[in-house]
Amino acid sequence: MEAQLRRGILDACVLAVLERGESYGYKLVTDINTFIEITESTLYPILKRLEASNMLTVRTMEYNGRLRKYYSITDAGRNRVTELLSEWEEIDKVYRYIIEERGENRE
Partner 1 sequence: MNKEQYISQLKGRMEAAGITNVDERIEFYDEMLSDRIDSGMEEEAAVASMEDIEDIIENARLEKPVTALVAEKVIKSHAEAKKNGNGVLWIILAIIGFPIWLPILCVLFSLLLVIYIVLWTIVFTIFVILLSFAIAAVASFAAFITMFFNAIPIPIGFAGLGGALFFGGLTVLLFKPCVVLAKSIATMIPAIFKKIKKNVA
Chain residues in the site for partner 1 (CB under 8 A): 24-27, 29, 39-42, 44-45, 64, 66-69
Q: Closest CB to partner 1 among 16 and 47?
A: 47
| Smallest distance from partner 1 to CB 95, Å | 27
Q: Closest CB to partner 1 among 19 and 40?
A: 40
User: Do residues 49 and 12 lie in contact, with contact meaning Cβ atoms separated by under 8 Å?
Assistant: no
| Smallest distance from partner 1 to CB 106, Å | 38
User: Do residues 70 and 24 lie in contact, with contact meaning Cβ atoms separated by under 8 Å?
Assistant: yes
Q: Closest CB to partner 1 among 38 and 55?
A: 38
Q: In what order do the strands lie in the sheet with 56-63?
A: 23-24, 66-73, 56-63
DSSP state, residue 69: E
